[in-house]
Amino acid sequence: GENVEQHPSTLSVQEGDSAVIKCTYSDSASNYFPWYKQELGKRPQLIIDIRSNVGEKKDQRIAVTLNKTAKHFSLHITETQPEDSAVYFCAANTNSNTGKLIFGQGTTLQVKP
Amino acid sequence: EPEVTQTPSHQVTQMGQEVILRCVPISNHLYFYWYRQILGQKVEFLVSFYNNEISEKSEIFDDQFSVERPDGSNFTLKIRSTKLEDSAMYFCASSDRDITTDTQYFGPGTRLTVL
């Protein structure tokens, strides 16, 4: 069935280091991959997304890479700051064309000052 | 910047009672969704809604659940007879799903506690 696997479940880095979170998806028809940041008790906030017609997208300190052949995509955060600490979710759409998103299990990122 | 809004922020109810969760999507959006998140777990899809009808629903969305767009602005999720396991954060999302993006914008959520 439709599934998105996300690793690691927790990640602790020093301020200024890079952080990488990886996801794999099962539906080969998926063509849209957003990343959401969720702070405690808050709504998921879209931070970056990528469509399947590109392999990489960058927005300041955040980048996402996509390997359609291997069905995996990754979030890269450079020069991490304490305010980057949050839970990050990857997601993928499905072949149903309804916009439904399947989410990964989430990664709790802690950036230590 | 327009945002999705939801009311109430927190709803406490007794098992077996009906609850209605309300959402106001972004005004020019046409696609609407409900997701839920049990504490500490991932976000799970419940239902998608377009052109005044359900376009897809998950296994979670059984006969106890229903959605409605009663007017031009509100989008509601009704749970007819709540169970303990319905306790979760419920997020509404909306999208305009134009040709370049499927971006979904999430509301702040309603925390439902079933006692």
- Report the relative pairing of strands A45-51 and B105-106 from DSSP bridges: unpaired
**Using CA atoms, how far apart are residues A82 and A14, in angstroms rounded to an integer?**
9
Contacts of A78 by beta carbon, 8 Å cutoff, 6+ apart: A18, A61, A62, A63
Mutate to test the interface with B, among A31, A101, A102 (most CBs of B within 10 A): A101
Range B94-103 average pLDDT = 75
Place of tokens 């990754």: A74
* Cβ contact A89–B105 (<8 Å): no
Longest distance between any two alpha carbons in chain B, whole Å: 44
**Using CA atoms, how far apart are residues A38 and A107, in angstroms rounded to an integer?**
10
- Residues A18-46: tens digit of each pLDDT: 999 999 999 988 999 999 999 988 899 99
Band (B47; pLDDT cuts 50, 70, 90): very high
Spatial contact of B33 and B45, defined as CB atoms under 8 Å apart: yes
The closest of B82, B52, B48 to B65, measured between CA atoms, is B82
Q: Does A49 touch chain B (CB under 8 A)?
A: yes
**Using CA atoms, how far apart are residues A36 and A23, in angstroms rounded to an integer?**
13
> Residue B6: its pLDDT value, please?
97
> Residue B99: its pLDDT value, please?
52
* Contacts with A99 from chain B: Cβ below 8 Å: 31, 33, 48, 95, 97, 102, 104
With helix as H, strand as E and coil as C, how does A32-76 read? Answer: EEEEEEECCCCCCEEEEEEECCCCEEEECCEEEEEECCCCEEEEE
